[in-house]
Amino acid sequence: MANFQFRLSSKKNKLGRQELLMRFYHGKFQQRAKTGIFIEDKPVYWDGSSIVNKARLVTDDVIYHREQKERLDNLCRIISEEWEQVDPSSVSATWLDEIVDRFNHPEKYVTVEEKDNAARIYMTYVFKDFIKRHKVSENREKHLWSLWRVFRRYEAWRGVTFEFETFSHSDLEGFRTFLITEHEYWVRDEKTGRMKCSNRRYLRAYNQVNDECLAMGKKLEKRCPEPRSKNTLNNILVRLKTYWIWCMKEGYTDRNPFNRFTIESAEYGTPYYITVEERHQLENAELEGMVAIQRDIFVFQCCIGCRVGDLYKLTYANIVDGILTYTPRKTKDNNPVLAEVPLNATAKALLEKYYDPNRDTLFPFISQQRYNDNIKKAFKQAGLNRKVAVLNPLTRQHEIKPLYEVASSHMARRAFVGGLYHKVQDPNAIGSMTGHAEGSKAFARYRKVELELKKSLTDMLD
């Protein structure tokens, strides 16, 4: 009679679970294998030799471990059935590993034709190929995987795997509703102050998708979803529509559920930024330590107008004869735009101040989040508290806030564009230095600022 023994690996995965290790033996024959089944090393789930269920309450963890026990029972049954069909003297050294792998990854053992047919059916299956085949920036790739995760959560929550030929307009509406309401499944624990899931059905979907990401070696969803603004919703839906159009071009489907589905245009507030005088006030403020260093980097960014992601990638090789030249990452893969910025005296002085030939970057950078935090501190310590109208992305209402509360790295880019636009209303000339594509809609918002400024000047004649 075939027998099994089990023990837990000493290593834990990112979810705090340990893999079940198996020993299969019959007479003198024995082989060991990893099962691909992960459980928590707690008395209610593991008694030292097998998976158990001793918990009194039915929680999501209990349901998960019940499912793993069922998986283990099925795996043992399949191994026993396979053993009955083989000649023990001819069993290979990898026999047990192959059975376990086939059990956990059946898709690896189907024919090429079957794989191709499967790929042409399921939306999220093809989506992984869509990401792989598109040359996009690292940041955009993160956005695509984020879309994959939230769409898989929607599928798992609905209990379906969407196919191209059945995915409908109503499914799209359901996905939009899911994006709007997903944050409502989380509440703050009054005792710990931490967010916890309040919906078991949703939590199973959330954990299922994280398990899938873990198996693929992809980023897990560690934060609970926050309320999404309309612009965020629209961006997610536009990416999904872009994917669907690609699928139509590739021949996966000739249907288009987006034909009757409306995606609203993004809505942005009027740009707010610091003036040249306010930048000088920031430059001359008596600051110390890390805040002073990050202030200087921000001032340099105001002088060149690049995005923070590009700023962090710049090296001394990007500067020739006093001109900074680079290709913005946002455009380099689809429609490369070369940005050329002559450095002014302030920028040159800051480069000289922090020059270090042994450093790969122009400045001693820290994480982008800490950079933004220090910018706010620098603004506050420099007394930059002018009130500005900020569009709340959730309510679509303008709110009045002091500059130091809304300051960020992107304000440096706006300060560069806005400052130049007040001097010369030539979007193409400015775009050649910022990397904006010709005809960029962004400059329309700066024109609105310019018109308001002109109006305030003419009002002075009354």
Task: Specify whether 408 is located in the same domain as 453.
Answer: yes
Q: What integer pLDDT is reported at residue 432 of this predicted model?
A: 57
Structural domain contains residue 344: yes
Position with higher pLDDT, 391 vs 285: 285
In the listed set 81, 109, 137, which residue is the last one of a domain according to the structure? 109
- Cα 353-359-362 angle, rounded to 5 deg: 50
Residue 425 has pLDDT above 60, yes or no: no
Mean pLDDT over residues 91-109, rounded? 88
- pLDDT the model gives residue 328: 82
Residue 287's CATH number: 1.10.443.10
105/125 same-domain check: no
Q: 93-97, 114-118, 134-138: which has the highest mean pLDDT? A: 93-97
Query: Hey, is 253 helix, strand or coil?
Result: coil
Q: Are residues 293 and 432 in the same domain?
A: yes
Query: Which residue would you say has higher pLDDT here, 448 or 106?
Result: 106
The CA-based diameter of the chain, rounded to the nearest angstrom, is 104
Q: Is 134 helix (H, G, I), strand (E, B) or coil?
A: coil
Quote the DSSP letter at residue 435. Answer: -
CA distance 24 to 28: 11
User: Between the CA of residue 413 and those of 273, 379, 436, 440, what are the distances in Å?
Assistant: 9, 16, 11, 15
Question: pLDDT tens for residues 355-410?
Answer: 999 999 999 999 999 999 999 999 999 999 998 888 777 777 788 889 999 899 98
Q: Is residue 432 part of a domain?
A: yes
Is residue 242 domain-shared with residue 327, that is, in the same domain?
no
**Interval 320-343: pLDDT, tens:** 898 989 888 665 555 567 888 889
User: What tens digit of pLDDT does each residue of 72-95 get?
Assistant: 999 999 999 999 888 888 889 999
Residue whose entry in the numeric block shows the structure tokens 């792998």: 101
Residues 254 and 130 in one domain: yes
The answer, yes or no, to whether residue 280 has pLDDT greater than 80, is: yes
Q: Is residue 64 part of a domain?
A: yes
pLDDT at 112: 60
Do the Cβ atoms of 164 and 334 come closer than 8 Å? no
What pLDDT was estimated at residue 22?
Answer: 95
148 lies in the same domain as 221: yes
Does a structural domain hold residue 267?
no
In a domain, 270, yes or no: no
- C-alpha dihedral, 45 to 206 to 108 to 96, nearest 10°: -10
The mean pLDDT value of the chain amounts to 85
**DSSP secondary structure of 315-375:** -GGGEETTEEEE--TTTTTTS---EEEE--HHHHHHHHHT--TT-SSSS----HHHHHHHH
Has residue 20 been placed in a domain? Answer: yes
Instruction: Tell me, yes or no, whether 165 lies in a domain.
Output: yes
Specify whether the CB–CB gap between 124 and 252 falls below 8 A: no
Residues 320, 180 within the same domain = no
Percent of the chain with pLDDT over 90: 46
pLDDT at 61 > cutoff 70: yes
Which helix (H) or strand (E) element contains residue 389? strand 387-391
- Tell me which of 260, 292, 322 is where a domain ends: 260
pLDDT for 359 equals 92
Q: Are 154 and 178 in contact (CB under 8 A)?
A: yes
Provide long-range contacts, Cβ within 8 A and 24+ apart, for 57-62. 59/200, 60/197, 60/200, 60/203, 60/204, 60/207
pLDDT value of residue 438: 59
Shared domain for 225 and 86, answered yes or no, is no
Q: Considering the domain boundaries, does residue 78 fall inside one?
A: yes
State whether 144 and 102 are in the same domain: no
Provide the number of structural domains found in the chain.
3
Closest CA to 420 of 304, 317, 311, 332: 304
58 and 168 share one domain: no
DSSP SS3 for 79: helix
Q: Are 324 and 305 found together in one domain? A: yes
pLDDT for 117 equals: 60
Helical packing angle, 409-423 and 289-304, nearest 10°: 40
Show which of 82, 109, 136 is a domain's final residue: 109
The model's confidence at residue 248, banded by pLDDT at 50, 70 and 90, is very high
Same domain, 43 and 170: no
Give the pLDDT score at 457.
Answer: 45
* CA dist., res. 451 & res. 421, Å (int): 11
Mean pLDDT of the region 250-275: 84
Main-chain phi, psi angles of 323, to 5 degrees: -120, 125
| Higher per-residue confidence, 184 vs 438 | 184
User: What kind and span of H or E run contains 191?
Assistant: none
Q: How does pLDDT run across 2-20, given as a tens digit for each residue? A: 799 999 999 999 888 999 9
From CA 98, how far away is CA 175, in angstroms rounded?
Answer: 39
Question: What range defines the domain where residue 129 resides?
Answer: 117-260
Whole-model pTM? 0.59
The rounded distance, in Å, linking the Cα atoms of 22 and 394 is 52
